[in-house]
């Protein structure tokens, strides 16, 4: 069976050997090996189906998919289930056609030497789907094409159960892993930018946010965002940024509201992250604005549409690095990077004398924990 871990392991091992195999001499050697296949298969621009199907573009192709060729039921089914001719699967099949896929009708005993397998694959890889010479770029794109084929096979209907086999079959050069599906990428791609890019559809009111907050957030962050114990404070702190111990909250310190949305959506409630709907997150963000006195109407509704109209009070204190314009730097020529100081280097002070290291490492002098 092509799914069996044993044949896959073997296949993967062979594939490892084949890395970087598409070199001229391998292709030439592969052409010789292909003499064993020629009785049944053709490649090249004028190739036709014979006893076996055309093999143009086979590396990365889904199994059993050449138009007009009558495959065995076993091969057709394996293809529909997601079997993909990546290097690993091809290696497994060419070494032992019967063992790799029971019931397939290729009457060929199999190639016995790893080299022959690697070389014939390199040779086959040198033809694109139209039988033209594959450019190196095309060859390296083969995995991407392969991935597309898998997605299609997946979308074509096999149940979730077959995903495992799709996974195995779609393994690229190393026969490991598979390309992420668009759904999986979307699930990770949730970042929201200050200009509103990435915001999902949705909306929520302060009043609704309060209900969710009381139930799911207040146990740590306090009823009014003042925090219980040492959990983070979420509100207040305005006017403390220049104090000895600034209280850095959304209302006092954070520059952009998008960070609130993104963070809550991604990470909260602590221990149950990603459990909030988009509407919940809009409502909670609205409520956090309310707790921070940035909006004062309980019926205020935050939505994708009005999101970027809200500005946080401290935004202006974040600005691009403007050092180049400061007189000190503006006047400076390019910094010296080599041989800047004439003469031999000279030791002017020792760290121990400078007193950067605590002398006895004892409790009193240890700095660990002493920094707030």
What is the binding site for ligand HEC (CB under 6 A)? 36-37, 39-41, 51-53, 55, 58, 63-64, 66, 71-72, 74-75, 85, 90, 94, 104-108, 111, 120, 216-217, 219-221, 231-232, 234, 260, 263-264, 268-271, 284
Whose structure tokens read 């490991």?
Answer: 176
Q: Pick the closest to residue 307 from 145, 216, 198, 207 (CA basis).
A: 198
Nearer to ligand HEC, 149 or 172 (CB): 149
Q: How far, in Å, CA of 191 to CA of 180, rounded?
A: 18
Backbone phi, then psi, for 95, in 5-degree steps?
-75, -35
CA angle, 89 as apex, 88 and 92 as ends, to 5°? 90
Minimum distance from residue 116 beta carbon to ligand HEC (Å): 8
- Please, what is the minimum distance in Å from the beta carbon of residue 228 to ligand HEC? 9
Q: Supply the minimum distance, in Å, between the C-beta of residue 90 and ligand HEC.
A: 6
Q: Which is nearer to ligand HEC, 206 or 264 (CB)?
A: 264
Cβ pair 138, 146 in contact under 8 A = no
Least distance to ligand HEC, CB of residue 94, Å: 5
Q: What is the maximal distance between C-alpha atoms in the chain? A: 87
| C-beta of 8 vs 90, nearer to ligand HEC | 90
Question: Which tokens belong to 46?
Answer: 């004028």
Smallest distance from the beta carbon of 354 to ligand HEC, in angstroms?
34
Q: Which two tokens stand for residue 81?
A: 């289930």
Nearer to ligand HEC, 181 or 226 (CB): 226
Neighbouring C-beta atoms of residue 134, cutoff 10 Å: 22
Please state the closest distance from residue 121 (CB atom) to ligand HEC, in A.
8
Cis status, amide bond into 269, omega within 30 of 0 = yes
CB 262 within 8 A of CB 276: no
36, burial (CB in 10 Å: exposed 0-12, middle 13-18, buried 19+): middle
The residue among 120 and 172 lying less far from ligand HEC, judged by its C-beta, is: 120
d(CA 15, CA 143): 14
Quick count: other Cβ atoms within 10 Å of Cβ 14? 21
Q: How far is the CB of 14 from ligand HEC (least distance, A)?
A: 14
CB of 270 to ligand HEC, least distance (A): 3
d(Cα 3, Cα 186) in Å, to the nearest integer?
Answer: 29
Closest CB to ligand HEC among 179 and 213?
Answer: 213
Closer CB to ligand HEC, 70 or 332, in the complex: 70
Please identify, using beta-carbon distances, which residue of 133 and 232 lies nearer to ligand HEC. Answer: 232
Of 309, 270, 273, 310, nearest to 288 by C-alpha is 310
Query: CB of residue 149 vs ligand HEC: minimum separation in angstroms?
Result: 12
In terms of CB distance, is 12 or 268 closer to ligand HEC?
268
Coil vs helix vs strand at 73:
helix
Rg (CA), the chain: 32
């Amino acid at each position: 069976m092509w799914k069996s871990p044993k044949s896959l392991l073997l296949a993967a091992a062979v594939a490892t050997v084949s890395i970087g195999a598409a070199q001229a001499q391998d292709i030439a050697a592969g052409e010789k090996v292909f003499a064993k296949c020629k009785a049944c298969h053709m490649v090249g621009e004028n190739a036709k189906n014979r006893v076996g199907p055309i093999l143009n573009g086979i590396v990365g192709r889904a199994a059993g998919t050449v138009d007009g060729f009558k495959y065995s039921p076993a091969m057709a089914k394996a293809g529909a289930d997601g079997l993909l001719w990546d290097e690993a699967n091809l290696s497994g099949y060419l070494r032992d056609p019967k063992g790799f896929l029971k019931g397939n009708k290729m009457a060929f005993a199999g190639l016995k030497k790893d080299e022959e397998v690697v070389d014939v694959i390199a040779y086959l890889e040198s033809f694109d789907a139209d039988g033209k010479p594959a450019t190196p770029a095309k060859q390296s794109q083969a995995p991407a094409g392969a991935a597309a084929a898998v997605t299609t096979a997946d979308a074509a209907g096999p149940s979730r159960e077959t995903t495992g086999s799709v996974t195995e079959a779609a393994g690229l050069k190393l026969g490991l892993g598979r390309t992420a599906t668009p759904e999986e990428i979307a699930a990770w791609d949730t970042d929201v930018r200050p200009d509103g890019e990435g915001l999902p559809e949705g909306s929520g009111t302060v009043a609704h946010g309060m209900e969710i907050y009381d139930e799911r957030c207040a146990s740590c962050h306090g009823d009014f965002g003042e925090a219980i114990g040492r959990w983070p404070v979420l509100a207040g702190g305005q006017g403390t940024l220049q104090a000895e111990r600034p209280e850095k909250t959304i209302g006092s310190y954070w520059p952009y509201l998008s960070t609130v949305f993104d963070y809550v959506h991604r990470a909260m409630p602590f221990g149950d992250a990603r459990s909030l709907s988009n509407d919940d997150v809009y409502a909670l963000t609205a409520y956090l604005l309310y707790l921070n006195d940035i909006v004062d109407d309980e019926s205020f509704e935050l939505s994708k549409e009005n999101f970027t109209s809200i500005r946080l009070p401290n935004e202006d204190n974040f600005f691009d690095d403007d050092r180049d314009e400061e007189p000190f730097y503006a006047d400076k020529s390019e910094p010296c990077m080599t041989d800047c100081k004439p003469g031999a280097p000279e030791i002017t002070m020792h760290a121990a004398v400078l007193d950067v290291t605590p002398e006895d490492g004892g409790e009193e002098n240890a700095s660990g924990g002493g920094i707030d």
